[in-house]
Structure 1
């Protein structure tokens, strides 16, 4: 705990130049006496930190100070910068500001060899705003309210204690304690609508969501599928399935064997390929897909 606080003190002083012991104590939620002990510890560790008495004085670090490499190794520094650069491209982080400050602390040259954008095409601003609201609700423990569309087509109103944001299998999820269900639930961000942060806050002490793999909800029914895609669908097949599950046929078609949840999502997903996919097995999925396609056809009677 003290080590984290010492790093935070260095970061604050490098960012704003100087601060009083009282300001640091309020910012870090400790006593002024604790801050003074931390300043002594930093000084003994070789950090060129000093105090100036009187009006306009305070605690400061000598100009051009670079964080001792012994505190954080070169490899650890690179990992921190890479992680922030990757996530920052999605919009929730002030990547330019945070990365610039950390590069200055670590004395690293400017690098921009990776760019990761986790937002959807044409929806970057809305996705970033939603993510920022969720992030702040998790950090500052604000109750969230929203509507949620389940994979079974039901739309329900939820109030939750937001606990964790998780990126898994090409999608962001919110893990939260649901006040309606009185249990932990995982919500896919793209299915959340009408999102609002309430003024009510909560205490997250003792609230630890399970990992997504170990949730108490019953596992979905899984279908072992054999799918035949036309050659024109190759770009999506290689985007969305593992290479080891893809077999190229002599005519250029692609056969995919994969296990997927057998629910409404599956039929919508398969329909997104149009006539570019044929379900070889199981036959029950092929029949359900035909029924879904027939239902779509019936929406458009001949003129």
Structure 2
């Protein structure tokens, strides 16, 4: 709606200062001509907006034209901005962008830089890695990580690797923190190369006095996207066919969405006459060990193929059942 766009223009100018018309057009997904018409409408309505011609020109508000609200602390301001980062996955990206512009404009001026910095240094990604279970450790202490990220300081990290359980020490240049489906990761450069560290594997984290030496022109989102693609592109060669009881299908799909080879409807799952109450799904895992996570669903999920996975699950189920057989009194 035009009224919402006019408000968005005013709030963008209020929080960002002078902006080129082309920049406003890109942010609001309209043409430059539309932006200029909107600027005329704002001026006619009494908003002190003006244009500056030339290569360094743009659109701006008269100095001092601002709206502040009080009552938000610096921590509350950061929380407001971070609370929105998880909602783009719900198809609310455009509405969220408009809402955050309004929130940023309404924040007390002293808190805006901190809130903006937090929104650029901390990301929420709700989709689980393919074939990877959820967090299996207590939530880590993020105080040192957050301090290094928000204060632009280097970080000394003692870290236990999951692949071989070895401990290494690193001096890192952090870009930010990412919450990936409940697991916190530090995105940082080590010797100028991008790396990813699970915070719950850190044995110690010490903030150093030296400023972070990040590569020029790169933000957390840039480095995170590159690292995420590198991991997502690892092939998953193990094809698995399973049938899932419909009562737990929605829960199963939430956990194994990234492992599906094709979307499966949850509102009216397909059933066959010989298997009423069950839905067949096709999945891919990176290894037999990763696929053994399906055993967590007990009798509500049955692997149909491959046979070696069925046998591995049968052995594990038998070993587990053996732990709970009645003890003989002696």
How much does 1:257 deviate? 0.8
Q: Give the aligned CA root-mean-square deviation in angstroms.
A: 4.9
Identify if the C-alpha distance between structure 1 residues 46 and 211 changes in structure 2 by more than 3 Å, giving closer, same or farther. Answer: closer
Q: After the TM superposition, which residues 136-151 of structure 1 pair with which residues of structure 2 at under 5 Å, given as runs?
A: 136-139=147-150, 140-148=152-160, 150=162
Identify if the C-alpha distance between structure 1 residues 8 and 213 changes in structure 2 by more than 3 Å, giving closer, same or farther. Answer: closer
Q: Distance in 2 between matches of 1:220 and 1:156?
A: 27
Kindly indicate whether the alpha-carbon contact (under 8 Å) linking 2:239 and 2:283 is maintained by their aligned counterparts in 1.
yes
Residue by residue, what CA displacement relative to the aligned partner does 1:168-223 show, whole Å, maximum 9, x if unpaired?
567553333357xx95432345x434452332544223696471244389935431
Kindly indicate whether the alpha-carbon contact (under 8 Å) linking 1:231 and 1:254 is maintained by their aligned counterparts in 2.
yes
Identify if the C-alpha distance between structure 1 residues 219 and 46 changes in structure 2 by more than 3 Å, giving closer, same or farther. Answer: closer
Identify if the C-alpha distance between structure 1 residues 292 and 156 changes in structure 2 by more than 3 Å, giving closer, same or farther. Answer: farther
Which structure 2 segments of 5+ residues have no match? 1-11, 19-55, 69-78, 88-100, 110-123, 127-134
Q: Quick one: which of 193, 196, 213 aligns to 2:205? A: 196
Aligned equivalent of 1:35: none
Q: Distance in 2 between matches of 1:205 and 1:233?
A: 46
Identify if the C-alpha distance between structure 1 residues 221 and 260 changes in structure 2 by more than 3 Å, giving closer, same or farther. Answer: closer
Report how many aligned residue pairs link the two structures: 211
Q: Quick one: which of 285, 292, 296 aligns to 2:316? A: 292
Q: Distance in 2 between matches of 1:153 and 1:284?
A: 25
Kindly indicate whether the alpha-carbon contact (under 8 Å) linking 1:228 and 1:254 is maintained by their aligned counterparts in 2.
yes
Aligned equivalent of 1:17: none
| Higher relative contact order (CA closer than 8 Å, sequence separation 6+) | 2
Residue by residue, what CA displacement relative to the aligned partner does 1:217-262 show, whole Å, maximum 9, x if unpaired?
9935431111111233223124233682355324111211122222
Q: Distance in 2 between matches of 1:200 and 1:297?
A: 54
Identify if the C-alpha distance between structure 1 residues 290 and 172 changes in structure 2 by more than 3 Å, giving closer, same or farther. Answer: same
Q: Partner of 2:213: helix, strand, or coil? A: coil
Q: Distance in 1 between matches of 2:103 and 2:216?
A: 36
Identify if the C-alpha distance between structure 1 residues 101 and 186 changes in structure 2 by more than 3 Å, giving closer, same or farther. Answer: closer
Q: Quick one: which of 164, 175, 199 aligns to 1:163? A: 175
Aligned equivalent of 1:248: 270
Aligned equivalent of 1:187: 197
How much does 1:149 deviate? 5.5
Q: Distance in 2 between matches of 1:183 and 1:299?
A: 47
Q: Distance in 2 between matches of 1:217 and 1:239?
A: 18
Kindly indicate whether the alpha-carbon contact (under 8 Å) linking 2:156 and 2:206 is maintained by their aligned counterparts in 1.
yes
Q: Quick one: which of 231, 239, 242 aligns to 1:227? A: 242
Q: Distance in 2 between matches of 1:216 and 1:254?
A: 29
Q: Distance in 2 between matches of 1:65 and 1:212?
A: 40
How much does 1:84 deviate? 4.7
Identify if the C-alpha distance between structure 1 residues 274 and 259 changes in structure 2 by more than 3 Å, giving closer, same or farther. Answer: same
Kindly indicate whether the alpha-carbon contact (under 8 Å) linking 1:220 and 1:262 is maintained by their aligned counterparts in 2.
no
How much does 1:164 deviate? 3.8
Q: Partner of 1:245: helix, strand, or coil? A: coil
